[in-house]
Amino acid sequence: MRLPLPHYQFSPGKAPAEAPQGVTDFIKYDIALQAWSPLQQGFFAGCFLGSKDYPELNALLEKMAAEKGVTPDTIAYAWILRLPGKVQAVTGTTKSARIASAAAAGDIELTRREWYDLYLAAGKKLP
């Protein structure tokens, strides 16, 4: 039996305060999640990278990117890949630079501290 892959919008700019209902079950049963258009800040709001709505997050993404020698979007994709469980980032782009940045995220290891710093920089509160 094939099960459909559940998909959610996970990104540092759109991180839920709590996991959407059922996500913990997906992790428990080793079911992969798909993060669709992870650089978007909402359905019609556009990309959060460089957005005036997230100055602290963008500053931290740029700082981490400079330290690791990558682009800010690579750090954002690395954040998604560091979520618990199996998460597949579905970029939703046709821009070759974005695809390359997403691929490079697999080689970036964020520490737990770096992950939470990005989460907090997006204006989220710890549960």
CA 48 – CA 57 distance, rounded (Å): 9
Residue 69 lies in a domain: yes
Residue 127 lies in a domain: no
Q: What is the pTM of this model?
A: 0.77
DSSP E strands in 20-126: the ranges are: 33-36, 87-90
In the block, tokens 């560091």 appear at 82
SS3 34: strand
SS3 39: coil
Amino acid residing at 11:
S
* Domain of residue 51, CATH code: 3.20.20.100
pLDDT tens, position by position, for the chain (127 residues)? 344 444 455 555 555 444 555 666 767 777 777 777 777 776 677 787 888 888 999 999 999 999 999 999 999 999 988 877 777 788 878 889 889 999 999 999 999 999 999 989 988 887 7
**How many domains would you assign to the chain?**
1
Residue 35 lies in a domain: yes
Residue 1 lies in a domain: no
Residue 44 lies in a domain: yes
Q: For residue 43, what are the domain limits?
A: 7-121
In the block, tokens 């990278």 appear at 49
